[in-house]
A and B are shown apart, each in its own frame.
Chain A
Amino acid sequence: MSAPVLPNWRPDFEAIAHWVAPGARVLDLGCGDGTLLRFLKERRGATGYGVDISDDNVLACVKNGVNVIQSDLEAGLSGFESGSFDYVILSQTLQATMHTERLLKDILRVGREGIVSFPNFGYWRVRMQLLAGHMPVSPELPYQWYDTPNIHLFTLSDFENFCRGHGVRILERLVTTDGRPVSAVPNLLGALAFYRLDRAPGASPVAA
């Protein structure tokens, strides 16, 4: 897939867009200025909505010509019917949520599948900075400890353990560093992780 010419395109959108089937119904949580949705709409014929809390992002989405619902993800997804979307996307936001467990449960309630990406806290550069005695700052984690929105940092292994324990099935995984796929020792060598998820058959959704 060639990179689209959109001003705020992020490399991680590429991987997410790749997983979205043409014509799908998509809910993009924490959608920012709507760049990903606009791409999915224009290139993949997808329909759907973004959700964002910020006034600036809501305006940017309207300017981008995509549907946006101003809402606080922490308040849950009660405004959305169960199974009403093919994909619910949460792009580099999970680590910044307070009610992480509930949100993942809601994602797999509202969406047939969930697509989740997050910075891997097990990445070796992160580990090195911790070993050196500092909270890590990197392209994926660009904040200082005192101004970071990230309150639930975790590793690939943590996430996969969580999925196993909560009836979440991992359908596909992609791990990248500097935009390139990583296959060996991903929990150490991968900076960003992408997962395509659904509810494990027979499992009650995200049982505690």
Chain B
Amino acid sequence: MNALAKVPGSVGVVAPGDMQFDDPLLLKSGAVIPSYSLRYETYGTLNADRSNAVLVCHALNASHHVAGTYAHDPKDVGWWDNLIGPGKPIDTDRFFVVGVNNLGGCHGSTGPATINPATGRPWGADFPVVTVDDWVAAQARLADRLGIRRFAAVVGGSLGAMQALQWTIAFPDRVRHALVIAAAPKLSAQNIAFNEVARQAITTDPDFHGGDYYAHGVVPRRGLRLARMLGHITYLSDDAMAEKFGRALRQGEFKFGFDVEFEIESYLRYQGDKFSTYFDANTYLRITKALDYFDPALACGGRLAEALKGAVARFLVVSFTSDWRFSPARSREIVKALLDTGKDVSYAEIDAPHGHDAFLMDDPRYHGLIRAFLADADTDRSAQP
């Protein structure tokens, strides 16, 4: 790491790595990925007894680039940089932090845009549907290769929180602390409805070509734009939108036309345009399906408590009052299941105005809780002789 480039509180300049896996991975759908590669980043140092590793799981559009910046692009700051770094709540002076781009992603891990070795062409529509369970299984293999038997903590917000929850179910003895932030134990019909509109926007874009748009040299940009605009509406609270944009007009008066007039329109178009230049449409489809399918209680007759029965992690569940995408009531469902089985769990409901996106904000109450919860997480007491 370049010491000159390191600013206080930042992990500084980072570089991703790629881990190749040649053991086939059987997916929940029954499909098999014969081989794949995962792109990841690490910050801090794995200690001698390998007890200080923290896995950070990403949500819909994020990646393995969780903290720090890149030498070639100093403006590309990791998506959870306000939480992770030296002296920050997830302190890289104490913890060895791992960020990984999930299987099927579009930030360097094997995904629909990757060349399928069997055909020599991009996977495209043939790339299987992946689930949260599959991601966690792939992450566990990465942990094996990094020499991490047991994580001090698995951390995630939103879809990332679903992965943290799944870790405690699939690999209970490999997680000592689970931070489940702005989560839901499964999507509601309304959540699925939003996802379906986003998918329809993409799949009905004439440039989608049934998912094999790579061969046509095009990208279903219009669909991606709409999907992202829709998503953004659900990430913000009504109050946050009112506060940030209100009914403000770009040019101060009505133009009686259909160009951008209100600031909120400008914001959504900007977010949509930006997103459509870097995100893969096939990945977007798959990630929304992973959200829809996530339902760990399903295998236990809908009883989440039973699904979580084997978990041994200490849980911190955090929700945000203005989050209507995954409201506090959804987090309380998770808490209830953990209480019913007598798990170690703490729950905080942060009074924050930002909506779902609050989990990415630098709120001292929220970050203070994470810091306190992880205060002695870098030592594995159960591993002591």
Contacts and interface: CB of A to CB of B under 8 A. Distances in A.
Contacts of B345: 49, 67, 69
A10 B148 CA distance: 44
Given A55-B365, A59-B365, A84 B348 contact: no
Contacts of B346: 58, 61-62, 67-69
Contact of A70 (B342, B348, B373): B348
B368 interface: yes
Nearest to A64: B372
Given A59-B369, A62-B369, A62-B373, A80 B347 contact: no
A70 B317 CA distance: 10
A68 B314 CA distance: 12
Contacts of B335: 69, 79
Provide the main secondary structure of the chain A interface.
mixed
B165 interface: no
Contacts of A61: 346
A208 B335 CA distance: 31
A68 B372 contact: no
A84 B26 CA distance: 40
B339 A81 contact: yes
Contact of A47 (B336, B342, B372): B342
B158 to A, nearest CB: 20
B379 to A, nearest CB: 13
A49 B345 CA distance: 8
B173 to A, nearest CB: 20
A196 interface: no
Contacts of A47: 342
B339 A49 contact: yes
A63 B372 contact: yes
Contacts, number: 47
A109 interface: no
A145 B177 CA distance: 45
A70 B332 CA distance: 10
Nearest to B333: A79
Contacts of A105: none
Contacts of B342: 25, 47
Contacts of B332: 79
Interface residues of B, number: 21
Contacts of A59: 365, 368-369, 372
Contacts of B316: 62
Contacts of B373: 62
Nearest to B368: A59
B376 to A, nearest CB: 8
Interface string B148-177: 000000000000000000000000000000
Contacts of B350: 55
A47 B372 CA distance: 20
Contacts of A68: 346-347
Given A58-B369, A63-B375, A69-B335, A81 B348 contact: no
Interface in A42-65: 47, 49, 55, 58-59, 61-63
Contact of A79 (B339, B351, B365, B368): B339
Nearest to B373: A62
Contacts of A63: 372, 375
A84 B336 CA distance: 12
A113 B46 CA distance: 47
A136 B249 CA distance: 58
A84 B339 contact: yes
B369 A84 contact: no
Nearest to A66: B346
B344 interface: yes
A63 B340 CA distance: 24
| Max count, chain A CB within 10 A of own CB: residue among B332, B347, B350, B375 | B347
Contacts of A49: 339, 345
Interface string A71-82: 100000001110
Interface in B338-385: 339-340, 342, 344-351, 365, 368-369, 372-373, 375
Contacts of A79: 332, 335-336, 339
Interface of A: 25, 47, 49, 55, 58-59, 61-63, 67-71, 79-81, 84
19 contacts: A25-B342, A49-B345, A55-B348, A61-B346, A62-B316, A62-B373, A63-B372, A63-B375, A68-B346, A68-B347, A69-B335, A70-B347, A70-B348, A70-B349, A71-B349, A79-B339, A80-B339, A81-B340, A84-B340
Closest 4 CB pairs of A and B: A62-B372, A63-B372, A69-B347, A70-B348
